[in-house]
Protein backbone atom coordinates (compact mmCIF):
# COMPACT_ATOMS: atom_id res chain seq x y z
CA UNK A 1 0.00 0.00 0.00
CA UNK A 2 1.06 3.55 -0.62
CA UNK A 3 2.50 5.24 2.46
CA UNK A 4 2.01 8.87 3.53
CA UNK A 5 4.92 11.28 3.81
CA UNK A 6 5.44 14.84 4.94
CA UNK A 7 7.30 16.17 1.89
CA UNK A 8 4.63 18.73 1.09
CA UNK A 9 4.27 19.90 4.66
CA UNK A 10 8.07 20.08 5.09
CA UNK A 11 8.47 22.11 1.92
CA UNK A 12 5.66 24.35 2.97
CA UNK A 13 6.72 24.87 6.58
CA UNK A 14 10.35 25.55 5.53
CA UNK A 15 11.76 24.31 8.81
CA UNK A 16 9.16 26.01 10.98
CA UNK A 17 8.38 22.99 13.14
CA UNK A 18 5.71 24.79 15.16
CA UNK A 19 3.82 25.66 11.99
CA UNK A 20 4.20 22.13 10.67
CA UNK A 21 2.81 20.80 13.95
CA UNK A 22 -0.10 23.22 13.70
CA UNK A 23 -0.92 21.93 10.22
CA UNK A 24 -0.63 18.31 11.32
CA UNK A 25 -2.97 19.00 14.24
CA UNK A 26 -5.56 20.51 11.93
CA UNK A 27 -5.12 17.65 9.44
CA UNK A 28 -5.63 15.08 12.19
CA UNK A 29 -8.74 16.77 13.60
CA UNK A 30 -10.33 17.40 10.22
CA UNK A 31 -9.56 13.91 8.92
CA UNK A 32 -11.37 12.28 11.86
CA UNK A 33 -14.43 14.47 11.22
CA UNK A 34 -14.31 13.85 7.47
CA UNK A 35 -14.07 10.09 7.89
CA UNK A 36 -16.99 10.03 10.35
CA UNK A 37 -19.17 12.10 8.05
CA UNK A 38 -18.13 10.09 5.01
CA UNK A 39 -19.29 6.83 6.61
CA UNK A 40 -22.40 8.42 8.05
CA UNK A 41 -23.53 9.60 4.62
CA UNK A 42 -22.41 6.44 2.85
CA UNK A 43 -24.44 4.32 5.26
CA UNK A 44 -27.48 6.46 4.50
CA UNK A 45 -26.70 6.00 0.79
CA UNK A 46 -26.53 9.77 0.53
CA UNK A 47 -23.87 9.60 -2.16
CA UNK A 48 -23.78 13.32 -3.05
CA UNK A 49 -22.92 14.14 0.56
CA UNK A 50 -20.50 11.20 0.86
CA UNK A 51 -18.82 12.53 -2.28
CA UNK A 52 -18.21 15.84 -0.58
CA UNK A 53 -16.24 14.15 2.18
CA UNK A 54 -14.36 11.99 -0.30
CA UNK A 55 -13.36 15.27 -1.88
CA UNK A 56 -12.08 16.65 1.42
CA UNK A 57 -10.20 13.46 2.23
CA UNK A 58 -8.75 13.43 -1.27
CA UNK A 59 -7.25 16.86 -0.62
CA UNK A 60 -5.65 15.51 2.54
CA UNK A 61 -4.23 12.58 0.58
CA UNK A 62 -2.57 15.12 -1.67
CA UNK A 63 -1.08 16.89 1.32
CA UNK A 64 0.30 13.62 2.62
CA UNK A 65 2.01 12.84 -0.68
CA UNK A 66 -0.38 10.00 -1.55
CA UNK A 67 -0.42 10.59 -5.28
CA UNK A 68 -1.81 7.24 -6.39
CA UNK A 69 -4.47 7.34 -3.70
CA UNK A 70 -5.34 10.90 -4.70
CA UNK A 71 -5.94 9.77 -8.29
CA UNK A 72 -8.07 6.81 -7.20
CA UNK A 73 -10.01 8.95 -4.74
CA UNK A 74 -10.71 11.27 -7.64
CA UNK A 75 -12.18 8.35 -9.61
CA UNK A 76 -14.20 7.33 -6.57
CA UNK A 77 -15.49 10.88 -6.13
CA UNK A 78 -16.64 11.02 -9.75
CA UNK A 79 -18.07 7.50 -9.53
CA UNK A 80 -20.21 8.44 -6.54
CA UNK A 81 -22.10 10.83 -8.77
CA UNK A 82 -23.57 7.72 -10.38
CA UNK A 83 -23.57 5.58 -7.25
CA UNK A 84 -20.51 3.75 -8.59
CA UNK A 85 -18.64 2.24 -5.62
CA UNK A 86 -15.83 0.54 -7.56
CA UNK A 87 -13.04 2.41 -5.80
CA UNK A 88 -14.61 2.20 -2.36
CA UNK A 89 -12.48 -0.64 -1.05
CA UNK A 90 -9.16 0.93 -1.92
CA UNK A 91 -10.26 4.36 -0.72
CA UNK A 92 -11.39 3.04 2.63
CA UNK A 93 -8.25 0.94 3.04
CA UNK A 94 -6.21 4.16 2.98
CA UNK A 95 -8.13 5.82 5.80
CA UNK A 96 -6.55 3.91 8.74
CA UNK A 97 -3.13 4.33 7.14
CA UNK A 98 -3.58 8.10 7.02
CA UNK A 99 -4.99 8.21 10.54
CA UNK A 100 -2.17 6.10 11.93
CA UNK A 101 0.43 8.26 10.21
CA UNK A 102 -1.06 11.46 11.62
CA UNK A 103 -1.37 10.00 15.10
CA UNK A 104 2.28 9.03 15.10
CA UNK A 105 3.53 12.47 13.96
Partner 1 sequence: MKSIIVDDEQLSREIIRHMADQIPAIEIVGSFSNAMQAIKFLNKNEVELMFLDIHMPEFSGFDLIETIKSPPKIVMISSDRNFAVEAYEYDFIVDYIVKPIEFDRFKKMFERIKKRYAKKENVAKPSTNGEQTITDDKLYVNIDRRLVKIDIPSIDIVEAKGDYIKIKTDKKNFVVHCPLKRIEEKLPKDKFLKVHRSFVINIDKIVDIEDNSVLIKRDVIPVSKGNRNELRKRLNLL
Query: Applying CB under 8 A, which residues contact partner 1?
Result: 8, 11-12, 19, 22-23, 26-27, 29-30, 49, 52, 55-56, 58-60, 62-63, 74, 77
CA distances (Å), 24 to each of 12, 80, 84, 101, 104, in order? 12, 28, 32, 10, 10
Give the nearest distance from C-beta 67 to partner 1 in angstroms: 11
Taking the CA atoms of 62, 88, 26 and 103 in sequence, report the sign of the dihedral they define.
Answer: negative
Q: Which CB sits closer to partner 1, 25 or 100?
A: 25
Give the nearest distance from C-beta 83 to partner 1 in angstroms: 19
Amino acid sequence: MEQPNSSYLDAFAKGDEAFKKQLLDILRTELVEDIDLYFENLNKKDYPQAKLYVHRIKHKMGMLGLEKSYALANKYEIGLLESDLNQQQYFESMLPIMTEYLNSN
